Amino acid sequence: GENVEQHPSTLSVQEGDSAVIKCTYSDSASNYFPWYKQELGKRPQLIIDIRSNVGEKKDQRIAVTLNKTAKHFSLHITETQPEDSAVYFCAAIFQKLVFGTGTRLLVSP
């Protein structure tokens, strides 16, 4: 079945640094790749997504890149702020959405 691997499981950065989270997927037919942010005790919320016909997408300090050949995609957060601290989940979908196991990002002031 479809599998999504996410790395690292935890990531600590200083405020203002960049953070990169990487995911790989197994089903080459996957065509939609959302990223979710989940704060402690809250619901997952969509922060950015990318479709298979696009290689990169940006939204202010957040960007996602997709390499279909290698079957991996990454989330890039620039100029990190303490409020970016949360768990981030990648996901890939063809028939059903499959989530990665999450990355706990801690941004220290």
Partner 1 sequence: NAGVTQTPKFRVLKTGQSMTLLCAQDMNHEYMYWYRQDPGMGLRLIHYSVGEGTTAKGEVPDGYNVSRLKKQNFLLGLESAAPSQTSVYFCASSYSRGARNQPQHFGDGTRLSIL
Can you tell me whether residue 2 is helix, strand or coil? coil
- Contact characters 28-67, partner 1, x per CB under 8 A: ---xx-x-------xxxxx--x-x----------------
Q: Shortest Cβ distance from residue 93 to partner 1 (Å)? A: 5
Q: Is 99 in the site for partner 1 (CB under 8 A)?
A: yes
**Closest to 35 measured CA to CA, from 94, 107, 106, 103:** 103
Positions in 76-95 near partner 1 (CB under 8 A) = 89, 93
Give the amino acid at 92: A
Q: Is 1 in the site for partner 1 (CB under 8 A)?
A: yes
How many angstroms separate the CA atoms of 15 and 99, rounded?
A: 27
